[in-house]
């Protein structure tokens, strides 16, 4: 299968579903990691253009650890709107090109607008991509509707997983992927006095406690016509 994780910012995927992606990779599936925003606003010292370049390279380094293809749409932070036809069409073109069998993305009830915008864009673009005569600037195309799973949000607020993935055997890879985002880890340590590595470990342990394993990641399936399968698709 081809698994596609679509997030707002660099490091969102690593925080919420990298252990699951690493597990898919170990099983021989192909992985695509797509960031819609550049992460150019997340620092007090590094200017936006330089930060964008740094975070793009950090994302590529992380993706390389699981042999994943990396895609960046490059929208500025807080500049992505799900009502934008241009953004929807760009994502539609990517979906038609990649033809994923499973998509993991943000929940519509996430804590900030870029995440919520991505959730709605994925909902719209997956359907648009399945319409043979829906035209973008690139023309027509087609991709089957596929299952979409919402990944956890930071802190798990208003998110009750319906499925869990045991990432005990891929947790170390998840943390190595997260560590690739050095600019953010360093900034949070120095500015916010937060050890984000410990935060992510604690949260994975909490989901693990809920599901009877050491470390886990939680998901909810998007329920809708054409998006449900009769067998489990998560590893």
* Strand ranges of the sheet holding 30-37, from the earlier edge strand across to the other edge: 69-75, 30-37, 2-7, 102-105, 148-151, 216-221, 163-166
| Helix or strand (DSSP H, E) at 104 | strand 102-105
Pick the closest to residue 160 from 199, 201, 200, 210 (CA basis): 210
Q: Rounded to whole angstroms, how far apart are CA atoms 72 and 21?
A: 18
Pick the closest to residue 219 from 9, 2, 23 (CA basis): 23
DSSP conformational letter for 76: P
pLDDT for the residue numbered 92:
97
pLDDT for the residue numbered 186:
85
* Regions of the chain where pLDDT drops below 70: none
pLDDT for the residue numbered 93:
97
pLDDT for the residue numbered 219:
98
51 CB contacts (<8 Å, ≥6 apart)? 39, 40, 41, 42, 43, 183
Whether the CB-CB separation of 52 and 38 falls below 8 Å is answered with: yes
The domains of the chain, with CATH numbers, are 2-221 (3.40.50.10320)
pLDDT for the residue numbered 181:
96
Write out pLDDT tens, residues 127-174.
Answer: 999 999 999 998 889 999 999 999 999 888 999 999 999 999 999 999
Q: What is the pTM of this model?
A: 0.96
């Amino acid at each position: 299968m081809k698994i596609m994780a679509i997030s707002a910012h660099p490091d969102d995927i690593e925080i919420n579903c990298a252990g699951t992606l690493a597990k898919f990779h170990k099983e021989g599936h192909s992985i695509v990691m797509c960031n819609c925003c550049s992460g150019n606003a997340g620092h007090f010292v590094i200017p936006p253009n330089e930060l964008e370049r740094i975070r793009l390279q950090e994302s590529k380094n992380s993706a390389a650890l699981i042999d994943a293809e990396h895609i960046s749409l490059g929208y500025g932070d807080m500049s992505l709107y799900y009502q934008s036809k241009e953004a929807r069409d760009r994502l539609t073109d990517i979906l038609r090109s990649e033809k994923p069998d499973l998509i993991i993305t943000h929940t519509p009830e996430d804590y900030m607008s870029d995440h919520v915008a991505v959730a709605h864009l994925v909902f719209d673009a997956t359907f648009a991509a399945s319409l043979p005569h829906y035209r973008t600037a690139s023309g027509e195309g087609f991709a089957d509707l596929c299952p979409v799973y919402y990944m956890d949000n930071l802190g798990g607020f208003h998110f009750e997983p319906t499925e869990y993935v045991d990432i005990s055997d891929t947790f170390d890879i998840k943390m190595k992927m997260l560590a690739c985002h050095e600019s953010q880890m360093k900034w949070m340590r120095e500015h916010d006095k937060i050890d984000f590595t410990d935060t992510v470990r604690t949260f994975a342990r909490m989901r693990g406690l809920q599901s009877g394993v050491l470390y886990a990641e939680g998901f909810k399936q998007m329920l809708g016509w054409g998006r449900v399968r009769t067998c489990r698709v998560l590893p």
